[in-house]
């Protein structure tokens, strides 16, 4: 029996082999190569040969002390935080309304479909569409605002730094709250209905139920949403790149756009871009590490520990028995 078991083990390796090979070629090697380039003098279009710099950390120091990188990093964090908060509030509200047992929102199904729709449209299309919508002098937003008398004359919105940032924040919120809402709804539906019934019997109102039953019970999903959104946010590229090319005056420049511009425009500084990538990589790893620590299933871990303990004891007993 045991022999047969071993015979099948090789298929475990065999079936996971394609993944392993593709991972090594397309993920592991490029990661290490990027890290290496970060220590070299590799720059200039079409160049592939490089030498390690006299001071290998030069690129990292240059990036970490670059005011443009600081701006980009600050923008990235600001853009993410200020789109995540309204996104989460909106998604939580909608999830609470759409799962309320006491009344059903008419047309709920249609609303869900429409709220999620912006998420599947190509981000490149959305970015250029919004650029056109806020066009000056006669974009649709200006047209509506002058027609309804909100503005006397067309306004050039997108040369103002704060408005440009605000629109990027709006686009990100608009594209993602529907997604977050669906995830939170599935989380709320996963809570056992008995808990809600008990709360109802105890006379809890909607607000109390929301804060004391719903929120604590979807903590894991909230954390999952937070981390995936943060990692996505740290890589924000399509919208800021195509909406205003990082402008005006770097107001919507994110680290993703910064890295792209370093490597694929101007003097093609692959080394600086690689160093910046690695800095972002470390930040993302730290964030993921915190998530894994927070998300680890404590109960499961306990069970595994007990099983391992039991196996050990069992083996010990077997050994002793064999000795005898």
Partner 1 sequence: MKSNNHHYAAKTIIFIICVFLAILSLFPFVVMIVNSTRSTTQIQQHAVSLIPSSYFANNFKILVGKSFKPSVGFLNSMIISVCATTLATYFSTLTAYGLVVYDWKLKRAYFSFIMAIMMIPAQITMIGFYQMVYKIHMTNNLLMLILPAIASPSMVFFMRQYMVPALSLEIVQSARIDGAREFYIFNAIALPIMKPAIATQAIFSFVSSWNNLFTPLILLTDQKKYTLPIMISLLRGDIYKTEYGAVYLGLTLTALPLIVVYLALSKYIIAGVALGSVKG
Please state the closest distance from residue 94 (CB atom) to partner 1, in A.
8
Q: Is 202 exposed, middle or buried (0-12, 13-18, 19+ CB in 10 A)?
A: exposed
Length reported for the chain:
324
The closest of 70, 35, 73, 26 to 56, measured between CA atoms, is: 35
Interface with partner 1 (CB under 8 A), residue from 39, 73, 80, 130 = 130
Interface with partner 1 (CB under 8 A), residue from 1, 54, 120, 321 = 120
Please state the closest distance from residue 122 (CB atom) to partner 1, in A.
4
The neighbour count for residue 225, using CB atoms within 10 Å, is 21
Question: CB within 8 A of 173, min separation 6: which ones?
Answer: 83, 86, 87, 90
Q: Judged by CB, which is closer to partner 1: 195, or 290? A: 290
Q: Judged by CB, which is closer to partner 1: 13, or 322? A: 13
Q: Are 236 and 280 in contact (CB under 8 A)?
A: no
Lookup result for tokens 């990082």: 246
Which of the ranges 68-76, 100-108, 156-164, 308-316 carries the binding residues for partner 1, by CB under 8 A? Answer: 100-108
Please state the closest distance from residue 4 (CB atom) to partner 1, in A.
10
The neighbour count for residue 96, using CB atoms within 10 Å, is 18
Please state the closest distance from residue 107 (CB atom) to partner 1, in A.
7
Please state the closest distance from residue 323 (CB atom) to partner 1, in A.
27
Q: In the 3-class helix/strand/coil scheme, how is 1-65 assigned residue by residue?
A: CHHHHHHHHHHHHHHHHHHHHHHHHHHHHHHHHHHHHCCECCCCCCCCCCCECCCCCHHHHHHHC
Q: Which of residues 26-45 bind partner 1 (CB under 8 A)?
A: 26-27, 29-37, 42
Please state the closest distance from residue 123 (CB atom) to partner 1, in A.
6
Asked whether position 214 contacts partner 1 by CB under 8 A, the answer is no
Q: Judged by CB, which is closer to partner 1: 133, or 215? A: 133
Asked whether position 113 contacts partner 1 by CB under 8 A, the answer is yes
Give the three-state DSSP class for 324. Answer: coil
Interface with partner 1 (CB under 8 A), residue from 156, 212, 264, 319 = 264
Q: Which of residues 235-254 bind partner 1 (CB under 8 A)?
A: 235, 237-238, 241-242, 245
């Amino acid at each position: 029996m045991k022999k047969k078991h071993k015979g099948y083990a090789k298929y475990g390796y065999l079936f996971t082999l394609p993944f392993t090979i593709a991972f090594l070629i397309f993920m592991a090697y490029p990661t290490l190569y990027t890290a290496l380039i970060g220590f070299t003098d590799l720059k200039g279009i079409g160049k592939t040969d490089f030498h390690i710099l006299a001071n290998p950390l030069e690129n990292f120091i240059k990036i970490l002390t670059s005011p443009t990188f600081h701006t980009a990093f600050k923008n990235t964090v600001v853009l993410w935080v200020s789109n995540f908060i309204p996104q989460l509030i909106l998604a939580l509200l909608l999830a609470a309304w759409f799962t309320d047992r006491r009344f059903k929102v008419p047309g709920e199904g249609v609303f869900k479909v429409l709220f999620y729709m912006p998420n599947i449209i190509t981000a490149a299309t959305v970015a250029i569409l919004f650029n056109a919508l806020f066009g000056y002098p006669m974009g649709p937003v200006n047209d509506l605002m002058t027609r309804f008398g909100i503005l006397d004359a067309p306004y050039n919105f997108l040369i103002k730094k704060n408005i440009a940032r605000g629109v990027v924040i709006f686009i990100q919120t608009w594209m993602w709250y529907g997604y977050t809402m669906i995830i939170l709804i599935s989380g709320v539906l996963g809570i056992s209905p008995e808990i809600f019934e008990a709360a109802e019997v105890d006379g809890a109102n909607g607000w109390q139920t929301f804060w004391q039953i719903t929120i604590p019970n979807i903590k894991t999903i909230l954390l999952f949403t937070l981390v995936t959104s943060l990692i996505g946010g740290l890589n924000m590229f399509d919208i800021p790149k195509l909406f205003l090319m990082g402008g005006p005056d770097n107001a919507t420049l994110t680290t993703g756009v910064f890295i792209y511009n370093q490597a694929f425009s101007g003097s093609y500084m692959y080394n600086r871009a690689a160093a910046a990538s690695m800095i972002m990589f470390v930040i993302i790893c730290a964030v993921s590490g915190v998530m894994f620590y927070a998300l680890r299933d404590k109960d499961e871990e306990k069970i595994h520990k007990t099983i391992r303990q039991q196996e050990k004891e069992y083996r010990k007993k077997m050994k002793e028995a064999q000795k005898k």
